[in-house]
Amino acid sequence: MTNFLSKRPLTMHQLYGDHVVFTSRPSYEKNPWLTTEEHQANMLTARELLIADIPVILHEATIGDKTRTLMTAAGIELPSNYRTFKDADSYHQRLREAEEAGEKIFFQYTHNEEYVKPSTYYVNKELFVALNNKMKLADWTKGKFLPKRDVIHVSKLEATLKDWHYPYVIKPGDDHPTAGGYGVMICYNDQDREKAFSRIQEAETDSDFIVEDYIKTEQNYCVQYAYSEATGIQYIGASIQDTNEYGKYRGNTTAHHVPDQVIAAGREIMENGVAAGYRGIAGFDLLVDDKGAVYAIDLNFRQNGSTSMLIMDELLEGDYEKFFGAYANVSNEAFYARILEEVTAGRLFPLAYYDGDYYEGQSVPSRFVGIWHGDKQDVEKHDQSFVEFNRP
């Protein structure tokens, strides 16, 4: 094995220290705005394992023989600092064990108090909720970098929107976490508006909503920073985000030439969060419009989808990196064989593999997240080739 992991420029352990456990799984409780499918939620528990260096709570299907073989093919020894679960009961048991041991937990998403006490959070729970609440975005930007926006109670939403012109964006303003653009409702026409109202009714919420002007975007960045008292604020890097016309996340690439005003805006927001007591990694979705203005549309005071990619940037060969995620539309066997082929060839770096065959007697598609790296043209060619191969 190489000493690849020893070369990481940053780990969670450097930021959070000893006696801290990490879990990136969304809570098993119902969330109307985070519609992550169960197997996807389980797979994502391993996405940050290689940058952690602290105990990570992982689903058993992410650390089997196939995962170990992929890591070996990439020249990496699978870290052993993890704690496994297989279902909701065992997951909650891992949380209770950490709490009883006096450890702190860095949560990617908040959990109900019946599963873990607020005092167990590494970041003060009340602060963590407030930092990630879209309704409070103006608090953390100090009123800067914002599109035109209103905060409206759900009971007045329909009447208020009669004064808004398409396109506009509706976002939930409650304390439920969101991710990947889910929960964001972009309305271009009456049909989109009716779909948004239908979803809001299904959520059975009595909360406020945010309505924002739609920004004509030239570039969509996720700029990321890290803070600990020992290191101060560090700029980790930025990724260019790929979303569909309705704001749903489709992946990203590493951005090597980020405008100074974007980095400065992100740092200013990070400073505001740190001043309030935040410690750790954060990523902010900042848009640049056709006039060069910077807008903050979402603040994620937690690890982000591209965090591992940005931290690994200088360690991967080539000048182009692209985040890659897929689930098997072909057989699990063929899916895995193709991934192993790409990893062995040195152009696909593995972050997490979720083995659907772990579920004996069930038909569960395997899943994978990793990083394409190399020459841009070559990466795009192999990425598209994999898409064609994996078509149902």
Cα atoms in the 13 Å half-sphere on the side-chain side of 208: 12
At residue 290, what are phi and psi to the nearest 5 degrees? -70, -5
Spell out the long-range contacts of 6-10 with Cβ–Cβ below 8 A and sequence spacing 24 or more.
7/315, 8/50, 8/51, 8/53, 8/311, 8/312, 8/315, 9/311, 9/314, 10/51, 10/226, 10/234, 10/236, 10/311
* Identified catalytic residue from 47, 94, 279, 302: 302
- Active-site annotation holds for 302: yes
Q: Which residues are tagged catalytic?
A: 302
